[in-house]
Structure 1
Amino acid sequence: MNALASKTPGWLDWYPNPSVPAFELPARTVDTHCHVFGPQAEFPFAPERKYTPCDASKDQLFALHDHLGISRSVIVQATCHGADNSAMVDAVASAGGRARGIATVRSDISDAELRRLDAAGVRGVRFNFLKRLVDTSPADELSAIAARIAPMGWHIVLYFESADLPELADFFGALPTPLVVDHMGRPDVTEPVDGAQFGRFLRFVEHHDVWVKVTCPERISVTGPAALDGEQHAYTDVVPFARRVVEEFPDRVLWGTDWPHPNLTDHMPDDGLLVDFLPHLALTTEQQHKLLVDNPMRLYWPGED
């Protein structure tokens, strides 16, 4: 048996004792963005990975969801597992129909394997454009994958930074599936919410079949987790951006924890406080229910009450 790889130096493990949120999530809340890592002894990490994380098992994920009041999940393939979707598929299978999966696939994947993933609960693939996490994102290969999954009713999850949207927008707009954007396209929150960069992103969403995850304030924020200027919540600089997306596209927004929060370097968020962040970006009960229940159910469990 091969020795287990050591964690990447400086790796921050997930927060072990999250607080009990003051905000009570509505029944049937869906976490549309979470991951599993390994456990490495059972599901080895990919040789080409850019990082070696701590273990973060399906049982630990589901225990967190029970603690927070989350009913369902969408488990996104982690880059440390490459295109071996085994850990993600195992977690989805263990959820008894209360989870869906987002896979990483390569263009040489067989039709039989795509059908197997579909039967296992996978409903999309993720295209990653962050250069620190992937070496290349060849457009021709990704277009070939998109053409094959479109007839299956799958969608494409996009991970990019807003500064890179101008060079990617034409490619994204030509893809033949619905699109789901991770973390609001990672806006620069030091720029005005009414500025050119975020305005470009909003217009991209407006003019295409795009859903937006208002997730990961801990990745986007400059001010960080401390409350500032009398505010009673963390990540205050992200609020105007997330609130704008919720207000402009109430029927196409999604939320998730991003547990176990890979590749953070300055702090590890308390998942209970991330839940308490929600009522600051979705102000009304109607907005909250659409964000947390109605929209993800329509996308991932269509036709199911």
Structure 2
Amino acid sequence: MIDCHVHVFDPDRFPYAADTWYRPAGGETGTAAQLGHVLDAHGVHHALLVGPNSGYGLDNRCLLDALARGMGRYKGVAVVRNDASRAELQDLQAAGVVGVAMNVALLGVDFYRDTEPLLQRLRELGLWAQVQVQADDLVALKPMLQDSGVKLLFDHCGRPTPQAGRGQAGFAALLSLADTGRACVKLSSLVKCSALPYPYPDAWPYVQALLQAYTPQALVWASDWPFLRAPARIDYGPLLALFAQLVPSGADRQAIGDDTPQRLFGFGA
């Protein structure tokens, strides 16, 4: 099993940026050591560590430290400036980073309108553009992302609006990108596309639509540990149980939970 979206927060060793927009504290924090214990307890062998905008912003030191300490257990997604150079990206890649995060849901569409040169560098290096959108954000960005030729990794089922249905423009745009053959979606954080408590039944139709459009060969599973700003308590075990309920086929779970992320992100290579 591979968890394709977790964060590491270690403010004692890596203090937060002074201008951070949010400071995770208490149960929202999770060090690399604590993450390892959680993964071990649930039989999860690898994880994709995502650099958070909260706490660290453009500071990737905590992420890179966790990658180094993991000794191959982890891959990373870094947060970089929109004008990050090829050399900066290559240095991150050498440290185990496989992609760059674009948090459109937080920073807005306009913040990323100038990223065509960055996307080109990512494409040339074989790095992923990990994109977190919500509602209809993707409609405006789709032409640039599609024309870039870069590999696309979408967070949290595309974060559709719960009540708007599968026909909403942003989710329809996400489904259409499956045809590119270079897009992948994380089945993760259903709480972000649900108006109901666990097991988030109003989000299930979006998962089924993604299963049909992308197939298990372009889908991965993730927990979003340590559940930053969760509206109610979330635990790792119930999320794994929900994955089994949503994907009843053992072969499909094997693909989404292990085979596909190994192939896409190079775990174990």
Fold equivalence (TM over 0.5):
yes
> Which one of the candidate residues 270, 277, 298 is aligned to 2:242?
277
SS at match of 2:3: strand
The 5 A counterparts of 1:199-278 are 199-207=172-180, 209-225=182-198, 234-250=199-215, 251-264=217-230, 266-278=231-243
Residue number in structure 1 paired with 2:35:
61
Matches within 5 A, 1:184-195: 184-193=157-166
Q: Under a length normalisation based on structure 1, what TM-score does the superposition of the two structures give?
A: 0.80
Name the SS of the counterpart of 1:213 in structure 2. strand
Contact 1:101-1:121 at 8 Å conserved across structures: yes
Structure 2: runs of 5 or more not aligned: none
Other-structure match for 2:119:
146
CA contact (8 A) 1:128 1:137 kept: no
Alignment partner of 1:104 is 2:79:
yes
The verdict on how the C-alpha distance between 1:56 and 1:135 changes in structure 2, with shifts beyond 3 A counting, is: farther
Runs of 4+ that moved beyond 6 A: none
Gaps of 5+ in 1: 1-28, 226-233
| Change in CA separation of 1:139 and 1:197 when aligned onto 2, cut-off 3 Å | closer
Change (3 A) 1:282 1:258: same
- Show CA shifts across 1:206-257 (max 9, x none): 34621011110122211112xxxxxxxx111212211221233221001111
CA shift for structure 1 position 149: 2.4
Change (3 A) 1:44 1:134: farther
Instruction: Give yes or no for contact 1:246–1:281 (8 Å, CA) kept in 2.
Output: no
CA distance in 1, matches of 2:94, 2:181: 28
Inter-partner Cα distance in structure 2 for 1:212 and 1:160: 12
Q: Is the 8 A contact 1:34 1:73 kept in 2?
A: yes
Query: Which of 17, 25, 44 is equivalent to 1:70?
Result: 44
Pairing 1:181–2:160 present: no
- Distance in 2 (CA, whole Å) between partners of 1:148 and 1:290 is 29
Q: Which has the higher contact order (CA 8 A, sep 6+)?
A: 1
User: Is 1:31 the equivalent of 2:3?
Assistant: yes
The CA distance in 1 between the partners of 2:109 and 2:135, in whole Å, is 19
Q: 5 Å matches for 1:99-138?
A: 99-131=74-106, 137-138=111-112
Give the C-alpha shift of residue 79 in structure 1: 0.5
State the 1:104 CA deviation: 0.8
- TM-score normalised by structure 2 residue count: 0.90
Q: Deviations over 1:161-181 (max 9, x none)?
A: 132222221122122311000
| 1:53 to 1:196, Cα distance in 2 relative to 1, 3 A | closer
Question: In percent, how many aligned pairs have the same letter?
Answer: 28
Q: CA RMSD in A?
A: 2.1
* 1:82 match: 57
